Amino acid sequence: MITRKEKLLWLGYGIILVLLFLLSSTDLIIKEEKREIYPISVIVEDTSDINYVNFRKGMEQAAIERNADISFITLYEAGSASQQQELIAREQQAGASALIVAPAQGGEIPEDLSRLADIPVVMVWTGQEPEQAEALVTTDFAQMGRDMAGQIAQSYDRDIPVYLIGRTLKHEGTESFERTLEEELESRGFTICLSLEEDGNTYRTVLEQAISQEPKGAVIVGLDPDSLREAASVLKSDEKLRSYVRGLYGRGSAQEILEALDRGIIRGICATDEFSAGYLSVCRAVEAVSGQRPQKRTVLDHYYIEKEDLRRPKYETMLYPIE
């Protein structure tokens, strides 16, 4: 039988437990640390994220570690600087604390963006260093062109022409890559043919032209990831065309590009650690918003990769990052 003393003890325990519960639920004892969340808008120059898959994985990892909320925004019209500028103004008005921008055309944000953007801006994938941006995360596109030229020069005789295909040269990174690639190859005795989609040329037309005019075949270089991917798609579906192309090269590491490289349709690519680029761009943005001084310029290494390199640990980790 429970004594009066024992009843009082149990009642006391109950009261203590209730008080502890009430105190903890009202944060009087255990106060949860309130973490500030940084809304960051990412505005790229393309209409889809097909070339930004690994870049987005890097951003998502940094967002977890740095308490960022990422909004990834594409354009309705690829390469439209005016549309990108409208989106920049819209995202700032919507409450973004920082912007990450892959410029649509040229190496600079539009001049009047400095008036529109009262928040930190981090630029990615441009060779120039915009004065109004807090930080820049990029790669050396000019050196990438030189390295690609060196690989081609080692593999082919000088009487094999090189066809350069691309969407446009208005993007500063593509222009730098094309310019140094062409200069290096011409200095070594190669004949260069430049063909751009904005001039009305299709990739199939360029490839068929190379067949009809070049009895020894030709080397093809995609100046941007989209051009390389499209050229690989054409060659994948047309064995006759593929037999005349001595080698298909380019830059980029989208999944379709890696698959074509693995199948031997693409001979070689220049690629950058896009996971790190995405990760660092978010880190720089958060640093700027939180009052720190971010590193102004970050230039990531690029690598020349062929089929046999895909399974090397160094490149496999970079090209196929774990989510």
Instruction: Give the CATH number for residue 60.
Output: 3.40.50.2300
Q: Which residue has the higher pLDDT, 171 or 312?
A: 312
One domain for residues 243 and 181: yes
Of 47-61, 71-85, 88-102, 107-121, minimum mean pLDDT range: 107-121
Number of domains, the chain: 2
Of 33-37, 173-177, 253-257, 313-317, minimum mean pLDDT range: 33-37
Q: Is the pLDDT of residue 59 over 60?
A: yes
The one-letter amino acid code at 321 reads P
One domain for residues 154 and 98: no
One domain for residues 60 and 132: yes
Give CA–CA dist 22/320, Å, rounded.
49
One domain for residues 147 and 224: yes
Q: Is the pLDDT of residue 28 over 70?
A: no
State the residue for tokens 């919507």. 94
One domain for residues 145 and 128: no
Q: Distances from the Cα of 267 to the Cαs of 108, 135, 174, 242, 251, in angstroms?
A: 33, 34, 20, 12, 11
One domain for residues 59 and 97: yes
32 part of a folded domain: no
91 part of a folded domain: yes
Q: Is the pLDDT of residue 3 over 90?
A: no
Say what the pLDDT of residue 322 is: 78
**In terms of Cα–Cα distance, which of 214, 212, 211, 257 is closest to 236?**
257
Model confidence pLDDT, tens digit, residues 227-245: 999 999 999 999 888 888 9
State the residue for tokens 């990831």. 225
12 part of a folded domain: no
Model confidence pLDDT, tens digit, residues 243-296: 889 999 999 999 999 999 999 999 999 999 999 999 999 999 999 999 999 999
147 part of a folded domain: yes
One domain for residues 209 and 108: no
One domain for residues 229 and 131: no
Percent of the chain at pLDDT > 90 equals: 65
Q: Look over the chain and give the mean of its residue pLDDT values, rounded to a whole number.
A: 87
Domain that holds residue 123: 38-139+273-301
Residues facing residue 298 across a β-bridge: 137
Q: Is the pLDDT of residue 29 over 70?
A: no
235 part of a folded domain: yes
Give CA–CA dist 218/248, Å, rounded.
9
One domain for residues 78 and 106: yes
Percent of the chain at pLDDT > 70 equals: 84
Q: What's the pTM?
A: 0.86
**In terms of Cα–Cα distance, which of 70, 105, 69 is closest to 84?**
105
Boundary of a domain, candidates 185, 217, 251: 251
319 part of a folded domain: no
Say what the pLDDT of residue 22 is: 56
262 part of a folded domain: no
Q: Are 70 and 63 in contact (CB under 8 A)?
A: yes
Q: Is the pLDDT of residue 136 over 90?
A: yes
One domain for residues 233 and 160: yes
State the residue for tokens 């093809």. 220
Q: Is the pLDDT of residue 187 over 70?
A: yes
322 part of a folded domain: no
Q: How many CB atoms lie within 10 A of CB 185?
A: 26
The phi, psi pair for 24, rounded to 5°, reads -70, -35
Q: How many CB atoms lie within 10 A of CB 43?
A: 25
The one-letter amino acid code at 54 reads N
One domain for residues 145 and 192: yes
Say what the pLDDT of residue 5 is: 54
One domain for residues 64 and 116: yes
